[in-house]
Amino acid sequence: MYKVVRRRSLKPTVTQIEVEAPLVARKAKAGQFIILRVDEDGERIPLTVAGTNPDEGTVKVIFQVVGATTEKLNHVMEGEYLQDFVGPLGRPTETEGIKKVCVVGGGVGCAIALPVAQEFHEIGAEVTSIIGFRNEDLVVLEEEFDACSDRLIVMTDDGSYKREGNVTMPLKEMLEAGEKFDMIITIGPLIMMKFVTLTAKEFNAPVTVSMSPIMVDGTGMCGCCRLTLHTEEGSVMKFACVDGPDFNGYEVDFDEAIARGRTYFDYERKAHDHVCNMFKAADELKNGANA
């Protein structure tokens, strides 16, 4: 069992928790992830490590409530326990030889992008961060990005906060102006990463994407997280859990990944609504008993 020692609501549907997991805290690096279960009957879900404190033996993860399991997870309070918390899994983000990097994050993907930006900042690289959200109400981690970035650009789709537009706009402007990056790293929704990659391709700029497909065991055995990469040698299958989560953006078959990612969308929404109603009913009973 793994104790939740701290809990912080970033937005109504976005939560950060800090979990007591000393072995994971000592080993985890930027770009890696964990798999957790809320209770003994729960499903396994992957969440990227958003930070560690090896001295305290704690690991931060940030999640958005989008399905049944994240709804359950959002009701775990400080002092309560998770059934499983396994990791670190996956390969850390490659940092060697990179002196100038552009980190592009979208939505809750910014929780994954933040430790990557922090890692590059710590090794002395020049960090440009571009983070994008649908609107002002969904902006998260701005102060944290500002602290580890030489330049920070915040975008909102509707213009309700900072600059209006999507993350590809400032990226394209910088590349058109002749700016060169040793690497562009993009983390967020698949469609966003696809268009960041297409934008960078116009200028032959190297792109790394962080893939988070459907995943079960995290060891490569279930095959759920398989991706098709189109390499110079031909098409190959890779597994995000053991071969990734970082891949060359030019090689990823995004259309296939997007189609597979939608497989259980309707089921997950129904499961979420069912679980959400259960918690609402429990809260109403509790409030009634306390009246």
Identify the CATH number of the domain in which residue 155 sits.
Answer: 3.40.50.80
230 CA to centre of own chain? 24
Residues 37 and 112 occupy one common structural domain: no
pLDDT for 127 equals 97
Q: Are 215 and 35 in contact, with CB atoms under 8 Å apart?
A: yes
* DSSP state at residue 206: -
Q: How many domains does the chain have?
A: 2
Q: Which two tokens stand for residue 40?
A: 């003994």
Residues of the chain with pLDDT under 70: 261-291
Give helix then strand counts, H and E, for the chain: 9, 16
> Does residue 274 lie in a domain region?
no
In percent, how much of the chain has pLDDT > 70?
A: 89
pLDDT for 19 equals 96
Residues 8 and 83 occupy one common structural domain: yes
Q: Which two tokens stand for residue 275?
A: 């679980």
Domain of 34, in residue numbers: 2-89
pLDDT for 272 equals 53
Say how many residues make up the chain.
Answer: 291
> Which residue type does 263 have?
T
Residues 50 and 102 occupy one common structural domain: no
> Does residue 169 lie in a domain region?
yes
Of 182, 210, 238, which residue sits at a domain end? 210
pLDDT for 215 equals 75
Q: Which of 259, 190, 208, 234 is nearest to 30 (CA)?
A: 208
Residues 144 and 51 occupy one common structural domain: no
Residues 78 and 16 occupy one common structural domain: yes
Considering the entire predicted model, what is its pTM? 0.82
- Taking the C-alpha atoms of residue 120 and residue 103, their distance in angstroms, rounded to an integer, is 10
Rg (CA), the chain: 19
> Does residue 142 lie in a domain region?
yes
> Does residue 261 lie in a domain region?
no
Residues 193 and 104 occupy one common structural domain: yes
pLDDT for 147 equals 96
CATH number at residue 24: 2.40.30.10
> H-helix or E-strand containing 119?
helix 110-122
pLDDT for 26 equals 95
Q: Which two tokens stand for residue 14?
A: 């976005």
Residues 85 and 132 occupy one common structural domain: no
